A and B are shown apart, each in its own frame.
Chain A
Amino acid sequence: MTGTGSISDIEPRLGYSLRVNGRDHEVDGAWVGDSLLRVLRDRLGLSGSKNACEQGECGSCSVRLDGRLVCSCLVLAATAVGREITTIEGIAPEDGLTDVQDAMVTEGAVQCGFCTPGLVMAIHDLLDRNPAPTALETREAISGNLCRCTGYGRIFAAVDSTVASRRDAAS
C-alpha cells in the first residue's frame, strides 16, 4: 500500500521566462508539471493568487492571460511563456486601489478574504466586457468564484456600486 499524493516523477526540470504584470521573470529549475499558480506563488513570490482547490472550481487563483480570465491552477506555467500575465498584484496603482477593490472594502464584501483577489479579477473582467451587467449577468459572471463567508450579497453590492460610480463619472 502507498500513501496519498502519488506522482510518478519530478523530472524533467525547465528554465523559462514569464512576463508578469509588465515585467519579465526568470524561472529556473521548475518541474515541468508546475501550474502557473504554483510558479507565481512558490517561485516568483506572488502569493496574491490563492490556492484553494487547484482544480479550477473555486476561482481563487484567477489571473488574466493575454487579457482573458483564467484559473492559473489549470494553466501549465511552461505554456504561458510569451504571454502577458496579469495578477492581482498588477492591477492597482502603488498604495492605491482600483474602483472594484475600493467597493469591495466599503461594501463589506470582504470577510476572510481568501476568495477576494480572484473575485476582484473576475469582477474587473466582467465590467470590462459588460459595463452595465444585470443582476443575473453578475451572478453568472462570478459563479466560478466560490466565497464561503459572505453568501455573496455584499459582493453583488460592490459590483453595483462600482457600476454606479463609473456611470456617474462618465456622465
Chain B
Amino acid sequence: MIADTAPAVRERPGRVGESAPRPDGVPKVRGEFAYSSDLYAEGMLWGATVRSTQVHARVRSVDVSAAWATPGVRAVITASDVPGSAHYGLDSDDQPVFAAGVVRHVGEPIAAIAADRPETARLAASRVVVDYEPLAPLLDPEESLTAEPIHPNGNVFRHLPIRKGDPDAVGDVVVEGTYTTGMQDQAFLGPESGLAIPDDDGGGVELFISTQWLHIDRDQVAACLGLPPDKVRLTLSGVGGAFGAREDISLQVHVCLLALVTARPVKMVYSREESFLGHVHRHPARMWYRHHATHDGVLVKVEARLLLDGGAYLSSSHHVLGNAASFAVGPYRVPNVVIDSWNVRTNNPPCGAMRGFGVVQACFGHESQMDKLARALGRDPVELRLMNALGPGDTGVTGQRITGTLPMAEVIARTAALPMPPDLDDEPPMLALPGGAGRTADRARVVRGVGFAANYKNLMYAEGFDDFSTARCRIEHGVVTIDCACAEVGQGFVTIALQIAREVLRIDEVVLAPANTAEVGSAGSTSASRQTWMSGGAVEAACTAARDRVLAEVAGRVGLPVSDLDLRGDRVVSRDGRIDLTMTEAIEGLVVDEVREFHHARTHPFDEHGQGDAHVSFAGAAHRAVVDVDLDLGLVRVVQIATAQDVGRALNPLSVGGQIEGGVAQGLGLALMEEILVDDGRIRNASFTDYLVPTALDAPEVVWSLIEEPEPGAPFGAKGVGEPPVVSSTPAIVSAIRAATGLDLTRVPVRPEDLALGGREHGL
C-alpha cells in the first residue's frame, strides 16, 4: 500500500575509522529516497490544521459547520474528539492536543480537517470560525516571573541556582556585561509531515513519520488516542533534517486521530509558514555576567543571571536551562560561582530544543566576557583562555570532576595555530566582498577582524535520566540484519551503525532495517550528540553478542572450546588448524538473534546549590573567525572559520567534517542573520524569504583539525560531534566583528544597522 518508505540500507564496505560513504546516498541523489512528505497510500485523505490567530485568548466557541459543509471534507475534529489524554509533552503533559477554552500562542492547533484533496482541506480549515475573547498577553519574560500564571502549571518552568566556592570572593579586575540572543529556527528543509494508516479493525494505527525519537512519540500518541502502546506502530520515514525541532509532537496525534475517525489513510504536510508555527525554536536569552580575575588573568569568580523565554509550553525548557547553567562559564576553571538562571512561560512561540541546547546562548555570554576581560587585562584573548582552560581532574561549575578526556588546552592552542586566509585583495571580485551579489561595497570601507571563542558541552541526557539505546542483531540465511530504532535525520547514524557492525562481525554484507517501534526497543532521541555513543554502543553490544554466539556454534560443531578460536582479520581460526573460515562462511546456516540495551554511566540530579554529577561526558571545540566588515552597509562576510574539535575518535572522518561545516553554518546564521522576529507574540517572518538561512555565498572556508583522545566508556572511544561546532562559532564571529569595528555588540544576530549606525556613532 505504501509506495515506498525509507528503504532498508545495503552498503558498500567500510569499517570503523574509514570515511565510508552514506548507504542512503545513492537513493538520495537519485531523488528516490522517500521522505515523510513523499509518502502515498491508496485512497488516502489529506489533513490540514486550524490554528489560533490570537496570542492569548479565551475560546468562546468553535463553529465547524461551514468546514463540514465543504464538498470533499471527511472529518473535522476538535478537542472534544480526543479520546485519551487531552495533553502531551516531553517532560510534563502541559500542551493540549487541540486548544480548548484558551489559546496561549499564535499558531496553537484548535481543529484538524481531513479531505479528499489538500486544497480542499485547507479551504475547509479557513472556514472554521473561532470566537475569541482576547486576554492580556504575557510577552516579557521578566514580567513572567511575577505575573499572574497563564497556565495551571505556573509561569516559572525552572529556576536553577548554582553556588560553588566563596560567593564573596573578589578579583583584582572585574568586567561586567549584558548580552541577548535572538530566537533561532532550526529551519530544517523537510517540512513536518506524516502518513497514518488505520488498522482494519479500527483498533490501532500505523504512522510513518519524521521524528527524532520514535518511541517517545509512540507513547505520547498512544496516550492521547487512548490506545495501548502496542496498538500504535511508528516507522521512521525519510527525515529532512531535525536539529531539535522534531523532538516534540507536532502533527502526530492529529493525523493518527483523523485516520482512525475516517478509517482511511491520512497524510499531513505542513507548509513552511506552518512549520514556523508548528515547532519549538531556540530560546531567546537575556544574560548578565560579572567576571573577576587576578591581575595575572586567573579567573577568580563568575556571577551570572540568565533568563530564557520558553514561550507558551514547557517542551524541553527544564533541561535546556540545566544545560545553560551547567555551561554558563564555558570551558574554564572557575573556583567561585554564583549563577541564577530561569526559564519562564510567556505567550510567545514555544521554545525547546535546538542544536547546542542552552549552551549556545550561554557561550555567547561567557565568550564575550572573556574577550572583555582580556582587553581589561591587556592580555591576548587566546592566551587568557589557555591559562584558564578546563581539563581532566578539574571541576565544572556544578562541582562535577572531569574524569574522561577533555583536551581543552590542546583544542584552543591548535585552533589558534591553524593557517590564516590570505589578505583581501585590493580589487577583489564583487562576490568576495561583504554582501556578495547585488550589493555595492566600497573596498576602501571594508575592514578585516579576527576573533576567537571556545566551548565545551555535555554529551547525552543529564541529571539522572537513563537515556539507553537498544539494538538487535539477527543472522538468518547467511544475512546479517541490524535493527535499531535510532532516528536517522541526516547525521549519518546509518553509516556509523554499519561500520560498527562490520567491524565487530568482520563481515562486509550487513543490512540495516528501517527504524520502527515494532521490531526493537527504544533507541532514545537523536539529540544531545548522543546517538553515535548510545546507539553505536548498542549496535556494538548486539553484534558482539551475535559474534560470540557464532563462535560458540562453530567451536561446538567440532567439539572445541570457544577459547580455542581466534579472530584473525575476517577469519575464524582454531589453534589446531582444523577451523579456518571467513566469518561470512561461519554464519552459513546459523540462526542468531541477539538484543542488547546500552546504558551510559549513571548521572545524578543537582542539589539545592546546583551541585552534582549531572553529566555523562564532555566534548570541546574552539573557533577562530576571520571576517570582513563593510562599515557603510553594515554587512559582514565570514572569510574563514578555523576549528579544532575534541572528538574522542573519529569513526568516519568525512562525516565528522560534514558535522563541523554544517554546525559552523548554523552558528554563522545565529551570529549574522537568523532571527525569528516576534512582534507582540506574532512571528513576522515565517518564510524563507524573510527568515534568512546562510547560502553558499555566505559559507566561509572551514579549516578543521580533529583531536583524537579516545573517551573511556564510549564505543571505540568516539564522542558525539554534532553540537560543539555550532556553539562557539557564533561568539567567534562576533568577536571578529568587534575586532574589526571596535563596537561592543552585545546581541546576536548582529544586524546591519548595529554596525552601520553604531559605527557612525563611534566615528567609524
- Chain A's closest residue to B699 (CB) is A152
Chain A residues whose C-beta falls within 8 Å of the C-beta of B19 in the assembled complex: 108
Q: Which of B48, B125, B661, B695 contacts A143 (CB 8 A)?
A: B695
Q: Tell me whether A51 and B191 are in contact (CB under 8 A).
A: yes
- Assess whether A26 is interfacial by the CB under 8 Å rule: no
A140 touches B697 (CB 8 A): yes
- Judged by a CB distance under 8 angstroms, whether A168 is at the interface is no
> A2 in the interface, Cβ–Cβ < 8 Å?
yes
Among B21-29, B337-345, B468-476, the stretch in contact with A: B21-29
Chain B residue at minimal CB-CB distance from A137:
B431
Q: Binary interface profile of B, 649-674, with partner A (CB < 8 Å = 1, else 0)?
A: 00000110110111111100000000
Q: Are B119 and A139 in contact (CB under 8 A)?
A: no
Instruction: Check B699 against A10 for contact (C-beta < 8 Å).
Output: no
**Pair A148/B657 contact, Cβ less than 8 Å:** no
* Contact residues in B for A148 (Cβ distance below 8 Å): 186-189, 241, 243, 662, 665-666, 693
Is the pair A10, B123 in contact by a Cβ cutoff of 8 Å? yes
State the Cβ distance, A149 to closest chain B Cβ, in Å. 5
Proximity bits, B510-550, A CB within 8 Å = 1, else 0: 00000000000000000000000000000000000000000
B135 at the A interface (CB under 8 A)? no
Q: Are B696 and A139 in contact (CB under 8 A)?
A: yes
Partner of B274, one of A4, A41, A57, A150: A4
- Tell me the nearest residue of chain A to B243, going by C-beta: A148
Query: Smallest Cβ distance from A10 to chain B, in angstroms?
Result: 5
The answer to whether A169 has its CB under 8 Å from any CB of chain B is no
Give residues 75-114 of A contacting B (CB, 8 Å).
87-89, 92, 97, 101-102, 104-106, 108, 110-114
User: Is A162 engaged at the interface, CB distance under 8 Å to the other chain?
Assistant: no
- Beta-carbon contact of B696 and A101 below 8 Å: no
Which single member of A1, A58, A114, A150 contacts B662 (CB below 8 Å)? Answer: A150
Say whether A114 contacts B126, CB under 8 Å. Answer: no
Task: Let me know if A72 is at the binding interface, CB within 8 A.
Answer: no
- Residue B110 is within 8 A (CB to CB) of chain A in the complex: yes
| CB-based contact B491/A151 at 8 Å | no
A58 to B239, alpha carbons, bound, how many Å?
17
CA distance A3 to B62 in the complex (A): 11
The answer on a CB contact under 8 Å between A108 and B21 is: yes
A18 on the B face (CB < 8 A): no
Number of A interface residues in the complex (CB < 8 A): 65
- CB atoms of A113 and B661 under 8 A apart: no
Do B132 and A1 have beta carbons less than 8 Å apart? yes
Cβ–Cβ contact A2 & B128, under 8 A: yes
Distance from B30 Cβ to chain A, minimum over Cβ atoms (Å):
6
User: CB of A64 within 8 A of chain B?
Assistant: no
- A145 to B110 Cα, complex, angstroms: 34
Q: Is B492 an interface residue (CB 8 A)?
A: yes
- CB-based contact B111/A88 at 8 Å: no
A146–B122 CA distance with the chains assembled, in angstroms: 27
Mask for A134-171, Cβ within 8 A of B = 1, else 0?
00101110111111111111111000000000000000
The interface residues of chain B lying within 8 Å CB-to-CB of A144 are 695
Q: Is B699 a contact partner of A153 (Cβ separation < 8 A)?
A: yes
Could you mark each residue 1-44 of chain A with 1 if its beta carbon is under 8 Å from any beta carbon of chain B, else 0?
11111110110000000000000000000010100000001100
Q: How far is the CA of A97 from the CA of B664 in the complex (A)?
A: 30
Q: With an 8 A cutoff between CB atoms, is B43 at the interface?
A: no
* Chain B residues with CB below 8 A from A120, complex form: 29, 31
Q: Which residues of A contact B664 (CB under 8 A)?
A: 151
Say whether, besides A4-B50, A4-B51, A50-B240, A139 and B126 are in contact (CB < 8 Å).
no
B661: chain A residues at CB < 8 Å are: 150-154
With A4-B50, A51-B191, A52-B240 given, is the CB distance from A143 to B697 under 8 Å?
yes
Does B563 sit at the interface, judged by CB under 8 A?
no
CB distance from A133 to the nearest CB of B (A): 12
Instruction: Choose one: A55, A112, A115; the contact of B489 (CB below 8 Å).
Output: A112
Which residues from chain B contact A136 at a C-beta distance below 8 Å?
429, 431-432
B417 to chain A, nearest CB (A): 21
The stretch that binds A, out of B33-41, B284-292, B392-400, is B33-41
Q: Which residues of B contact A49 (CB under 8 A)?
A: 31
Question: Which residues on A sit within 8 Å (CB–CB) of B436?
Answer: 140, 143
Residues of A within 8 A of B (CB): 1-7, 9-10, 31, 33, 41-42, 45, 47-55, 57-58, 60, 87-89, 92, 97, 101-102, 104-106, 108, 110-117, 120, 136, 138-140, 142-156
Q: List 13 A-B contacts (CB under 8 A).
A: A1-B129, A4-B126, A50-B240, A101-B30, A104-B25, A108-B658, A112-B188, A140-B431, A140-B436, A149-B662, A153-B658, A154-B661, A156-B699
